[in-house]
A and B are shown apart, each in its own frame.
Chain A
Amino acid sequence: MEKITFDQLQEELYYESLENGLDVYILPKKGFNKTYATFTTKYGSIDNHFLPPGKGEFVKVPDGIAHFLEHKLFEKEDGDVFQQFSKQGASANAFTSFTRTAYLFSSTSNVELNLETLIDFVQDPYFTEKTVEKEKGIIGQEITMYDDNPDWRLYFGLIENMYKNHPVKIDIAGTIESISHITKDMLYECYETFYHPSNMLLFIVGPVNPDQIMSQVRNNQSKKNYKELPEIKRQFEEEPAEAAEKKKVLEMNVQTSKCLVGIKSSNANQSGKEMLKNELSLNVLLDILFGKSSEHYSSLYNAGLIDDTFSFDYTQEEGFGFAMVGGDTNDPDRLAETLKKMLLDAREKGAISQETLDRTKKKKIGAFLRAVNSPEYIANQFTRYAFNEMDLFDVVPTLESITLEDVENAAGNLISEERFTVCQVVPKK
Chain B
Amino acid sequence: MAVISESVKAMNGYKLHVVKTEKYKTNTLVWKMKAPLEKDTVTLRSLLPHVLQSSSSSYPATGKLRSYLDELYGATLFVDLAKKGEYHVITISVEIANEQFLSDPTPLLKKAFQFLSEILTKPNVQGGAFDQDTVEKEKRTLKQRIQSVYDDKMRYSNFRLVQEMCKDEPYALHVNGEKEDVDKITPDSLYEYYQQAMAQDELDLYVIGDVDEADAESYAGELLSFEERTPQTAPASAGRAKESVNEVREEQDVKQGKLNIGYRTNVVYGDPDYYALQVFNGIFGGFSHSKLFLNVREKASLAYYVASRLESHKGLMMVMSGIDNSNYDQAVNIIKEQLEAMKNGDFTEQEMEQTKAVIKNQLLETVDTARGIVEVLYHNVVSGKEITLQTWMDEMDKVTKEEIAETAKKVSLDTVYFLTGKEAGK
Is B357 in contact with A86, judged by CB distance below 8 angstroms?
yes
Q: Is the Cβ of B63 less than 8 Å from the Cβ of A34?
A: no
Instruction: Tell me, rounded to whole Å, the shortest Cβ–Cβ distance linking B260 to chain A.
Output: 14
B368–A370 contact, CB under 8 A?
Answer: no
B226 in the interface, Cβ–Cβ < 8 Å?
no
CB–CB A32/B23 < 8 A: yes
B305 within 8 A of A: yes
**Is residue A62 within 8 Å, beta carbon to beta carbon, of the partner chain?**
no
The reply to whether the CB of B402 lies closer than 8 angstroms to some CB of chain A is no
Assess whether B218 is interfacial by the CB under 8 Å rule: no
Residues on the B chain within 8 Å of A145, using CB = 154, 256, 304-305, 322
Q: Identify which of B3, B62, B70, B140 contacts A362 (C-beta below 8 A).
A: B70
CA distance A83 to B348 in the complex (A): 14
Residue B288 at the chain A interface, CB threshold 8 Å: yes
- Known A-B contacts A33-B365, A366-B74; the reply to A82 vs B151 at CB < 8 A is no
A272 in the interface, Cβ–Cβ < 8 Å?
A: no
Q: Which of A108, A253, A330 contacts B361 (CB under 8 A)?
A: A108
Given the contacts A138-B301, A298-B61, A374-B369, A366 and B253 also touching, CB distance less than 8 Å? no
Kindly list chain A residues whose C-beta atoms are within 8 Å of the C-beta of B148: 255-256, 309, 328
Interchain CA distance A369-B297 in the complex, whole Å: 39
CB neighbours of B252 from chain A (8 A): 253
B137 x A86 contact (CB < 8 A): no
Contacts of A360 in B (CB 8 A): 70
Taking a contact as CB atoms under 8 Å apart, the answer to whether B70 and A108 are in contact is no
Instruction: Give the Cβ gap from B59 to chain A, nearest Cβ, in Å.
Output: 10
Other-chain residue from A9, A107, A302 in contact with B137 (beta carbon distance below 8 A):
A302
B5 within 8 A of A: no
**Does A307 lie at the interface of the complex (its beta carbon under 8 Å from any beta carbon of B)?**
yes
Nearest residue (CB) in A for B23 is: A31
Q: Is the interface of B mostly helix, strand, loop or mixed?
A: mixed
List of A residues within 8 angstroms of B383 by Cβ: none
* Most A C-beta atoms less than 10 A away, residue of B150, B154, B365: B365
**Which of B62, B69, B76, B323 is close to A370, meaning CB atoms less than 8 Å apart?**
B76
Contact at B364–A148, with CB atoms within 8 Å? no
Determine if A307 and B361 form an interchain contact, defined as CB atoms under 8 angstroms apart.
Answer: no
The smallest C-beta distance from B61 to any residue of chain A, in angstroms, reads 7
On chain B, the residues within 8 Å of A233 by CB distance are: none
B73 within 8 A of A: yes
Q: Does A318 contact B (CB under 8 A)?
A: no
> Does A21 make an interface contact (CB < 8 A)?
no
Q: A32-B23, A91-B362 known; A359 and B67 CB under 8 Å?
A: yes
Q: Is the CB of B25 within 8 A of A369?
A: yes
Cα distance A141–B259 when bound, in Å? 13
Q: Which of A212-220, A286-294, A413-421 makes up part of the contact surface?
A: A286-294
- Residues in A235-265 with C-beta less than 8 Å from chain B: 253-256
Q: How far is the CA of A94 from the CA of B206 in the complex (A)?
A: 34
Within A179-218, which residues are at the interface with B (CB < 8 Å)?
none
CB distance from B210 to the nearest CB of A (A): 10
B302 touches A90 (CB 8 A): no
Q: Does B147 sit within 8 A of A, measured CB to CB?
A: yes
Is the CB–CB distance between B289 and A83 below 8 Å?
A: yes
Say if the beta carbon of A412 comes within 8 Å of chain B: no
Task: Kindly list chain B residues whose C-beta atoms are within 8 Å of the C-beta of A372.
Answer: 25
Quick one: closest B residue to A74, CB to CB? B288
B346-373 CB mask vs A (1 if < 8 Å, else 0) is 0000100011011011101101111000
Tell whether, in the assembled complex, residue B24 and residue A373 are in contact, meaning their CB atoms are under 8 Å apart.
yes
B38 to A: closest C-beta gap in Å: 25
| Measured CA separation A33–B389 after assembly (Å) | 13
> Smallest distance from the beta carbon of B34 to chain A beta carbons, Å?
23
Asked if A297 and B25 make an inter-chain contact with CB atoms under 8 angstroms apart, the answer reads: no
B304 touches A293 (CB 8 A): no
A142, B321: Cα distance in complex, Å: 11
- Tell me the bound Cα distance from A188 to B120 in angstroms: 60
Determine which residue in B76, B289, B304 has the highest number of CB atoms from chain A within 10 A of its CB, and name it: B304
Question: Which of B93-101, B121-129, B265-273 contacts the other chain?
Answer: B93-101
Contacts A86-B288, A359-B71 known; A141 to B62 CB distance under 8 Å?
no
Point out the residues of chain A lying under 8 angstroms from B153, CB to CB.
Answer: 148-149
A-side contacts of B288, CB under 8 Å: 82, 86, 91-92
B68–chain A nearest beta-carbon distance, Å: 8
User: In the complex, which residue of chain B has the Cβ closest to the Cβ of A93?
Assistant: B288
Instruction: Report yes or no: A108 in contact with B365, Cβ–Cβ below 8 A.
Output: yes
Partner of B256, one of A144, A328, A330: A144
Q: Are A370 and B95 interface neighbours, CB within 8 A?
A: yes
Question: In the complex where A141-B322, A363-B74 touch, is A34 in contact with B365 (Cβ < 8 A)?
Answer: yes
Closest residue of A by beta carbon distance from B422: A253
* Chain B residues positioned under 8 Å from A134 (CB to CB): 301
| CA gap between A39 and B305 in the complex, in Å | 24
List chain A residues, Cβ under 8 A from B101: 8-10, 369
CB-defined contacts of A365 to chain B, threshold 8 Å: 73-74, 97, 102
Collect the chain A residues with CB atoms within 8 Å of residue B95's CB. 370
A307:B144 contact, CB within 8 angstroms:
yes
From B65, B66, B288, B322, name the one whose CB has the most chain A CB atoms within 10 angstroms: B288
- The chain B residues found within 8 Å of chain A, CB to CB, are 3, 21-26, 61-67, 69-76, 95-98, 101-103, 133, 137, 140-141, 144-145, 147-148, 150-154, 252-256, 287-289, 297-298, 301-305, 322-324, 350, 354-355, 357-358, 360-362, 364-365, 367-370
Closest 4 CB pairs of A and B: A137-B301, A366-B74, A366-B73, A363-B74
The contact sample of 6 A-B pairs, CB cut-off 8 A, is: A91-B362, A109-B360, A255-B151, A256-B144, A293-B67, A301-B141
User: Known pairs A33-B365, A87-B354, A255-B151. 14 more at Cβ < 8 A?
Assistant: A9-B25, A33-B367, A87-B357, A107-B361, A138-B301, A138-B304, A141-B304, A297-B63, A298-B63, A307-B145, A363-B70, A365-B73, A370-B25, A370-B76
